[in-house]
């Protein structure tokens, strides 16, 4: 009976000790030469992850860690030097100054609807009207009498910032429009709601949703390169200092032909032809 | 026309039974659905391998370990604090303004919603203390979160120990602390353990507070300052982003089964305690 | 005398005091930081503009959270409407009709229901409830209705267990006296037991409301997160909690402060609810 309390507590402490023992309190991340940390735009994140996967295969002694947080957070993290590389899916504002901005690729913004939606084309003006609340019914776009379930991203999102810049102009996005906090969840909503419309990164469009043509132009990598499709934003890697060591190796990889090919395969627009 | 009271009686009984069964059936439905849709994906590979392609393929090993680390560490920190508080409140002081203030503090902590813990943990541990999104930030936040539960259950357990035991111990010449550690605590142990296990359950299923403090990195955390995921966070991301519905259900199944096991363990130890005193 | 001060017993007592005060310390730090980050914006922009403002566009300088306060209130009420009758019925059955065996079987089942992560509830809500509403009732499916339903289910265990305890603590003599006077079981429950347990039951409702108001993950998944005050049960909405969770990771500067301000408002609401509930729970059985 005496040991009844001692045993579980001892066990707990023992486990804790084991964990501590296998743990290493040295800061991982910025500082250690063998890990490169990235943080920022959730649009860029999955592609950085993909690049990291390939990179680590060919560089077994280096590791790359990718976090989200959003473009604004990524920019801040770069300025504060809490990460090696910040990721942004929009251009920097005037008051955001970092040492170096590296363009790694372009990404289109695609307007998506449910695959069963018969509408196939939309004009820039119509998109603006839908998102500012002036067009509310699918009837006005050539379909049935049913409210449009429009989905947007949240304030602070790089994708939303780019969308507002490229499409909305001075108009505000209507406050009756639903909001999801990542490209993936916007896509998921549109994929399951036949009456939904949304905007996501072109790079993640797949058969679960249907991408609309904008004023007749198909959203595709080729059309972006040929500058026919205008809804494009830059994916940027930001650094606070001149890239060196493992960071430079990784960035060089991303900008190399291999890295750019990976991005092209993922549906992004590489910077080199 | 007044209804025959006897008839209403039977009718009400039926209606209430229906409500009780309906409530239980919701639980059954949830477990059932998660099981049906997730079981197919539970393979040893799923449990032990790493996620690939953002979780579309591969397993959830880092998330499982992340959950274990978080739960074990936060409980390990919260238990001494919680049990110590309970001991102090029951053994070392009488009811006074002081104890009422402390109890007020505990109750208040218990009522704070998890998103506020997330907010606090984010601004305090992640930003101000510069711990970043890390296991440490998560642990400290969850530790504070489960503290009230441990204090409450420990207090109940300690109070339930018959006074005679203490009196006998004193009369044999034991000091207060000796009495506490050798007589009171061992008797209260099952109840305290129940509280610990309930807290583990809470730590395992918590999402809002964890995502903003521990982050959501897919890597296995190998140091206290590494970020990582718990199963709940992983499930949330998989489900919301539509990355993989099958993997999501499978993760949910692992989650629900873990909580089920924890609950069963808690009940087992609680019954041991009741058996001792009934 | 100095010996006594440094004796083992005394040191241990000091350690225990420290442990006991840790809760207060944590509470203090939490409040200090949430208020510290959130209050300044109230001074800068004005309390009225924030609490009664209709527009939330923090990157453009609009910090109005009124629609979200209303939405939080509506889904909490909705959750109670969905959950309270069902929970009370269940608790009543458990305490008044169920055999010991059934009690033994149902109580753990309830604990398990309470233990299921909120994200699982939210997910199942998205997969099953949202499409149902969209197909048969209209609207996007992400709505007050969906959120209330999911929250209602989530607060069932809270209301059931506290109401159950409350009902069980009504002395058997009350019931016996009523039956002795010729009342049926239901009449007894209705006129004697329930009123006697009234405080505890009401307290459970309030605590359930507290749980609903504070829920985040499940709500984000089924509410649609639109910023306008919902005009119908089928409209999407955003609660105070969702607002924080949706934008916290991306926010900086005034935007982030505004989220803390939202947190302050939330904390105040919850503290009031908890205070009222605790007050009522203390008066468990009244005449």
Tokens (6 digits) for B34: 């998660």
Cβ-Cβ contacts under 8 Å, A68 against chain C: 249
Ranking A21-35, A110-124, C113-127, C264-278 by mean pLDDT, the lowest is A21-35
Residues from C contacting A (CB-CB < 8 Å) are: 55-59, 67, 131, 134, 139-142, 220, 224-228, 235-236, 238, 246-247, 249-252, 255
Examine the pLDDT at B269 and tell me if it is beyond 80.
Answer: no
The more confidently predicted of residues C264 and C110 is: C264
CA distance linking residue A99 with residue B158, whole number of Å: 60
Strands A210-211, A35-40: pairing kind:
unpaired
Mutate to test the interface with A, among B57, B224, B276 (most CBs of A within 10 A): B224
**Pairs of CB atoms within 8 A across A/B:** 85
A187 closest CB neighbour out of B53, B73, B242:
B242
CA distance linking residue C78 with residue B8, whole number of Å: 29
Look at residue B273 in the predicted model and tell me its pLDDT.
64
Rounded alpha-carbon distances, angstroms, from residue B82 to A133, B105, C16, C214, C274: 53, 13, 10, 24, 21
Average pLDDT, chain A: 84
Examine the pLDDT at A131 and tell me if it is beyond 90.
Answer: yes
Beta-bridge partners for B28: none
Examine the pLDDT at C149 and tell me if it is beyond 90.
Answer: yes
Nearest-10 Cα torsion for B244, C150, C242, C216: -80
Q: For the stretch C40-68, what's the b/e string if a residue is b when 16 or more beta carbons lie within 10 angstroms of its beta carbon?
A: ebbeebeeebbeebebbbbbeebbbbbbb
C131 closest CB neighbour out of A72, A73, A192:
A192
Tokens (6 digits) for C124: 């199942």
A56 CB within 8 Å of a chain C CB: no
CA distance linking residue B103 with residue C20, whole number of Å: 9
Look at residue B111 in the predicted model and tell me its pLDDT.
87
pLDDT bucket at A25, cuts 50 / 70 / 90: very low
Look at residue A29 in the predicted model and tell me its pLDDT.
36
State pLDDT tens for residues C222-238.
999 999 999 999 999 99
Measured in angstroms, the CA of B159 and the nearest CA of chain C are apart by: 16
Cβ-Cβ contacts under 8 Å, B51 against chain A: none
Look at residue B221 in the predicted model and tell me its pLDDT.
83
Q: Tell me the mean pLDDT in the region B202-211.
A: 90
Examine the pLDDT at A30 and tell me if it is beyond 60.
Answer: no
**Closest residue on chain C to B261 (Cα):** C112
Q: Tell me the mean pLDDT in the region B40-68.
A: 83
For domain B44-277, give the CATH number: 1.10.3720.10
Look at residue C240 in the predicted model and tell me its pLDDT.
94
Tokens (6 digits) for B100: 């009422």
By the 8 A CB rule, do C263 and C74 touch?
no
Q: Do A19 and B54 touch (CB under 8 A)?
A: no
Look at residue C283 in the predicted model and tell me its pLDDT.
59
Rounded alpha-carbon distances, angstroms, from residue C85 to C67, C177, C214: 28, 27, 21
CA distance linking residue B33 with residue B25, whole number of Å: 12
ipTM summary value: 0.87
DSSP string, chain C: -HHHHTSHHHHHHHHHHHHHHHHHHHHHHHHHHHHHHHHHHHHHH-HHHHHS---EEGGGTEE--HHHHHHHHHHHHHHHHHHHHHHHHHHHIIIII--HHHHHHHHHHHHHHHHS-HHHHHHHIIIIIHHHHHHHT-S-S-SHHHHHHHHHHHHHHHHHHHHHHHHHTS-HHHHHHHHHTT--HHHHIIIIIHHHTHHHHHHHHHHHHHHHHH--HHHHHHHB--SSPP-STTS-B--HHHHHHHHGGG--THHHHHHHHHHHHHHHHHHHHHHHHHHHHHS-S--
B207 closest CB neighbour out of C112, C119, C274:
C119
Tokens (6 digits) for A76: 């801040």
Chains in contact with B, where contact requires at least 3 CB pairs less than 8 Å apart: A, C
CA distance linking residue B269 with residue B275, whole number of Å: 10
Mutate to test the interface with B, among A5, A179, A201 (most CBs of B within 10 A): A5
B88 closest CB neighbour out of C17, C89, C210:
C17
Look at residue A20 in the predicted model and tell me its pLDDT.
56
State pLDDT tens for residues B176-191.
777 778 788 888 888 8
Rg (Cα) of chain B, in Å, rounded?
23
Average pLDDT, chain C: 87
Furthest-apart CA pair in chain B: how many Å?
75
User: How many angstroms from the chain centroid is the CA of residue B77?
Assistant: 14
Cβ-Cβ contacts under 8 Å, C58 against chain A: 155-156
State pLDDT tens for residues A72-88.
888 888 888 888 899 99
**Closest residue on chain C to B205 (Cα):** C117
Measured in angstroms, the CA of A226 and the nearest CA of chain B are apart by: 30
Collapsing DSSP to helix, strand or coil, B40 comes out as: helix
Return the domain boundaries, chain B. 44-277
Cβ-Cβ contacts under 8 Å, B13 against chain C: 93, 97, 185-186
Cβ-Cβ contacts under 8 Å, A64 against chain B: none
Look at residue B96 in the predicted model and tell me its pLDDT.
81
State pLDDT tens for residues C187-235.
888 888 888 888 888 888 988 998 899 999 999 999 999 999 999 999 9
Average pLDDT, chain B: 85
Tokens (6 digits) for A176: 């009756």
Look at residue B277 in the predicted model and tell me its pLDDT.
53
Q: What percent of chain A has pLDDT over 90?
A: 33
Look at residue A1 in the predicted model and tell me its pLDDT.
40
Beta-bridge partners for A269: A106
- Which residues numbered 215-244 in C keep a CB inside 8 Å of some CB on B? 215-217, 221, 241, 244
State the residue for tokens 């909305």: A168
Select from B190, B183, B180 the least CA-distant residue to B154: B190
pLDDT bucket at A21, cuts 50 / 70 / 90: very low
Select from A63, A91, A61 the least CA-distant residue to A75: A91
Q: Tell me the mean pLDDT in the region B168-172.
A: 84
Examine the pLDDT at A69 and tell me if it is beyond 90.
Answer: no
Examine the pLDDT at B194 and tell me if it is beyond 50.
Answer: yes
Look at residue C161 in the predicted model and tell me its pLDDT.
86
Select from A180, A167, A169, A183 the least CA-distant residue to A89: A183
State the residue for tokens 């035991």: B165
User: Which of the 8 DSSP states describes residue A217?
Assistant: B
Q: Do B207 and C120 touch (CB under 8 A)?
A: no
State pLDDT tens for residues C254-263.
888 899 999 9
Rg (Cα) of chain A, in Å, rounded?
22
Measured in angstroms, the CA of B114 and the nearest CA of chain C are apart by: 7
Examine the pLDDT at A172 and tell me if it is beyond 80.
Answer: yes
Rounded alpha-carbon distances, angstroms, from residue A50 to A44, A265, B236, B257, C44: 10, 11, 21, 32, 44
Examine the pLDDT at C111 and tell me if it is beyond 90.
Answer: no
Look at residue A224 in the predicted model and tell me its pLDDT.
86
Select from A62, B31, B42, B16 the least CA-distant residue to C189: B16
């Amino acid at each position: 009976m005496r040991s009844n309390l001692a045993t579980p507590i001892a066990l707990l402490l023992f486990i804790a000790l084991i964990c501590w023992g296998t743990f290493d309190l040295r800061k991982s991340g910025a500082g250690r030469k063998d890990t490169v940390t990235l943080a920022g735009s959730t649009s860029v994140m999955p592609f950085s992850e993909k690049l990291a996967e390939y990179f680590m295969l060919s560089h077994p002694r280096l590791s790359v860690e990718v976090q989200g947080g959003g473009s604004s957070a990524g920019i801040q993290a770069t300025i504060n030097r809490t990460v090696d590389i910040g990721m942004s899916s929009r251009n920097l504002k005037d008051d955001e100054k970092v040492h170096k901005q590296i363009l790694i690729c372009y990404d289109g913004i695609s307007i998506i609807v449910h695959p069963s939606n018969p509408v196939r084309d939309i004009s820039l003006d119509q998109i603006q009207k839908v998102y500012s609340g002036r067009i509310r019914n699918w009837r006005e776009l050539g379909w049935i009498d049913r409210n449009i379930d429009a989905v947007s991203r949240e304030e602070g999102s790089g994708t939303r910032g780019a969308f507002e810049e490229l499409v909305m102009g001075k108009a505000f996005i209507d406050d009756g429009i639903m909001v999801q906090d990542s490209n993936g969840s916007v896509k998921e909503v549109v994929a399951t709601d036949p009456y939904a419309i949304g905007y996501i990164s072109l790079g993640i469009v797949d058969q679960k949703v249907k991408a609309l043509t904008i004023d007749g132009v198909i959203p595709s990598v080729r059309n972006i390169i040929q500058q026919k499709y205008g809804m494009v934003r830059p994916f940027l890697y930001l650094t606070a200092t001149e890239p060196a060591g493992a960071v430079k190796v990784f960035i060089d990889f991303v900008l190399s032909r291999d890295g750019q090919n990976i991005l092209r395969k993922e549906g992004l627009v590489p910077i080199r032809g | 026309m007044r209804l025959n009271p006897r008839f209403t009686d039977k009718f009400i009984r039926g209606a209430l039974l229906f409500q009780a069964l309906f409530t239980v059936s919701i639980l059954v439905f949830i477990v059932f659905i998660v099981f049906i849709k997730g079981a197919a994906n539970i393979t040893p590979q799923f449990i032990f391998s790493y996620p690939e392609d953002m979780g579309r393929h591969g397993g959830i090993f880092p998330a499982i370990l992340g959950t274990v680390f978080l739960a074990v560490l936060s409980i390990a920190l919260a238990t001494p604090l919680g049990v110590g508080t309970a001991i102090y409140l029951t053994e070392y002081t009488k009811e006074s303004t002081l104890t009422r203030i402390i109890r007020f503090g505990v109750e208040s902590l218990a009522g704070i919603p998890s998103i506020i813990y997330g907010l606090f943990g984010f601004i305090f541990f992640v930003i101000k203390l510069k711990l970043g999104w890390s296991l440490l930030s998560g642990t400290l936040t969850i530790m504070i979160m489960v503290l009230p539960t441990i204090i409450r259950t420990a207090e109940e357990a300690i109070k339930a120990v018959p006074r005679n035991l203490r009196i006998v111990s004193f009369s044999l010449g034991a000091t207060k602390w000796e009495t506490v550690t050798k007589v009171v605590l061992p008797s209260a142990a099952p109840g305290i353990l129940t509280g610990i296990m309930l807290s583990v359950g809470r730590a395992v299923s918590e999402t809002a507070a964890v995502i903003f403090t521990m982050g959501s990195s897919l890597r296995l955390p190998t140091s206290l300052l590494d970020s990582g995921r718990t199963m709940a966070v992983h499930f949330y991301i998989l489900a919301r982003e539509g990355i993989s519905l099958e993997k999501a259900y499978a993760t949910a199944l692992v989650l629900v089964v873990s909580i089920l096991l924890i609950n069963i363990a808690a009940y087992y130890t609680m019954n041991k305690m009741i058996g001792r005193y009934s | 005398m100095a010996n006594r001060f440094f004796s083992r017993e005394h040191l241990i007592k000091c350690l225990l005091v420290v442990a006991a005060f840790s809760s207060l310390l944590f509470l203090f730090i939490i409040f200090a930081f949430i208020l510290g980050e959130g209050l300044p914006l109230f001074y800068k922009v004005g309390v009225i503009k924030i609490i009664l403002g209709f527009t939330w566009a923090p990157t453009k300088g609009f910090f109005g959270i009124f629609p979200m306060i209303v939405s939080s209130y509506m889904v909490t009420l909705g959750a109670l409407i969905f959950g309270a009758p069902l929970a009370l019925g269940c608790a009543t059955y458990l305490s008044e009709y169920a055999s010991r065996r059934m009690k033994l079987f149902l109580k753990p089942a309830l604990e398990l229901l309470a233990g299921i992560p909120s994200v699982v509830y939210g997910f199942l809500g998205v997969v099953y409830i949202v499409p149902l509403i969209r197909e048969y009732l209209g609207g996007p499916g992400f709505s007050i209705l969906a959120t209330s339903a999911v929250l209602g289910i989530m607060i069932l265990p809270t209301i059931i267990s506290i109401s159950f305890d409350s009902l069980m603590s009504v002395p058997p003599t009350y019931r016996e006296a009523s039956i002795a006077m010729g009342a049926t079981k239901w009449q007894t429950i209705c006129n004697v037991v329930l009123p006697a347990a009234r405080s505890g039951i009401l307290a459970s409702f309030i605590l359930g409301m507290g749980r609903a108001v504070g829920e985040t993950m499940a709500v984000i998944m089924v509410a649609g997160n639109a910023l306008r005050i919902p005009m119908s049960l089928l409209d999407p909405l955003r609660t105070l909690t969702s607002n924080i969770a949706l934008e916290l990771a991306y926010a900086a500067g005034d935007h982030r402060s505004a989220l803390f301000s939202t947190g302050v408002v939330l904390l105040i609401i919850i503290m009031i609810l908890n205070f009222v509930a605790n007050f009522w729970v203390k008066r468990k059985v009244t005449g």
